[in-house]
Structure 1
Amino acid sequence: MPFSHRMRQWHRFLSLAFTLAVIANIVAMMIPGSPQWIGFLALIPLLPLLATGIYLFLLPYRRRGSIARET
């Protein structure tokens, strides 16, 4: 399995985790007296999601550059 395929799967998993963390944050904000640190739960998957997203965004440009060098 190529590295880019594994990176796409990891990015999908992180997006699911981020979505669940945001939903948990919204539910926690509705409950009075809930701890404030729950709002930071969404940041845990967000940082690696940003890194994998940048990689996947730049991947076609990297491939295009390697094809241009071969010809």
Structure 2
Amino acid sequence: MRQSHRWLGIVLTLTIAANFVAMALGPPPVIIDYAQLPPLSLLILSGLYMFFQPRPGNFRHRSGHSGSIRVSGSFCCGNGTK
């Protein structure tokens, strides 16, 4: 699923580039104007599908865990100096 999502992104990018090239040469045909809609629609649907899929191993059980995060150093510079 992720691989097809990536390829849809490439196809969408190519259709947008083709639209810009066609616009530079004059008024583009209607088919070029609307060529982005099918890959965009499929990209949105596949992205939503992947977003709502649970990913096992990503969620941790909180039993025995305080939930606090330890951070060393400074938030500013990352090397402990301010």
Give your verdict on TM over 0.5: yes
Calculate the aligned-residue CA RMSD, in Å: 1.7
Runs of 4+ in 1 over 2 A off after TM superposition: none
Q: Which runs of 5+ in 1 are unaligned?
A: 1-6
Deviation track 1:15-60 (CA, whole Å, cap 9, x = no partner) reads 000000000011111112431321100112111111100011112x
Give the CA deviation at 1:14: 0.3
Identity across the alignment (%): 40
Partner residue, 1:47: 41
| Cα separation, 2, equivalents of 1:57 and 1:63 | 9
| Cα separation, 2, equivalents of 1:10 and 1:33 | 32
Q: Which runs of 5+ in 2 are unaligned?
A: 60-82
TM superposition score normalised by structure 2? 0.61
Partner residue, 2:73: none
**Could you say which structure has the larger radius of gyration?**
2
Identify, as 1 or 2, the structure richer in helix.
Answer: 1
